[in-house]
Structure 1
Amino acid sequence: MASQAMKITLERIALFQFTPAHCAQARAMLGWSVEELSREAGVSVEAIQRFEAKREVLDVTRLTLAYRFESEGLVFFPGFAPGRGMNVKGSTPNPVGRADFAMVE
């Protein structure tokens, strides 16, 4: 199991790499509406709309969205559109184990 420091580092990387533009682009790639992403990720429609409008959301909400897209095989790098990766599942740590997971918006 990864150390707590490593887990925090991976979360910070995921938070930096996954942008509001990535969220909208990834939805388009998968053919998902905001409502479908909401159902798939367990994140409210309002939080997704806020995030895509470049407004504040909780880190755990952002990680939850990134994790859901990565489970579909998408990867995210700053400055580039999302891409399909080979064996990328798990790049963003599963947010379920976070102490603040119950706060997902």
Structure 2
Amino acid sequence: MATSAMNLILERIALFQFTPTHCAQARAMLGWSVEALAREAGVSTDDIQRFEAQQDVAEASRLALTYRFEAQGLVFFPGFAPARGGNVKGVTQDLGGRSDFAMAE
């Protein structure tokens, strides 16, 4: 029971944080067209276009879009452009070349 309650809370947070503007910005960051995003997320192009036009779409479609972008390492916060998360493979710099490397060990 706790797991389904936690999933519901996480879904609500994701729905609150991911906006239509984020969707368009994230597509641009990844160089994806509406058609490419539709293929990647399993969401219709009509749903994506409606969402980006700030019209109502099903929560399942919004979650699919959010989770697909998050799988690409993007994070979303209201009022800010999408950003790359620091926990994505390849995002962390090679620490060995830094002058403060000894502090990272």
Is the TM value for this pair above 0.5?
yes
How far 1:3 moved relative to its partner? 1.5
3-state secondary structure, aligned to 1:3:
helix
Q: Which amino acid is 1:22 matched to?
A: H
The separation in 1 between residues aligned to 2:63 and 2:82, in whole angstroms, is 15
Look up the match of 1:100. none
Look up the match of 1:91. none
The separation in 1 between residues aligned to 2:87 and 2:71, in whole angstroms, is 10
Look up the match of 1:7. 7
Look up the match of 1:99. none
Look up the match of 1:57. 57
Q: How many percent identity over aligned positions?
A: 72
TM-score, normalised via structure 2 length:
0.80
Q: Deviations over 1:2-59 (max 9, x none)?
A: 6211111000000000000000000000000001101111100000000000000011
TM-score, normalised via structure 1 length:
0.80
Look up the match of 2:97. none
3-state secondary structure, aligned to 2:28:
helix
3-state secondary structure, aligned to 1:56:
coil
The separation in 2 between residues aligned to 1:61 and 1:87, in whole angstroms, is 25
Query: Is 2:1 aligned against 1:18?
Result: no
Unaligned ranges ≥5, structure 2:
89-105
Aligned residues: 88
3-state secondary structure, aligned to 1:24:
helix
4+ runs deviating over 2 angstroms: none
Point out the structure with max Rg over C-alpha.
Answer: 2
The separation in 2 between residues aligned to 1:35 and 1:84, in whole angstroms, is 22
3-state secondary structure, aligned to 2:81:
coil
Look up the match of 2:98. none
Q: Which has the higher contact order (CA 8 A, sep 6+)?
A: 1
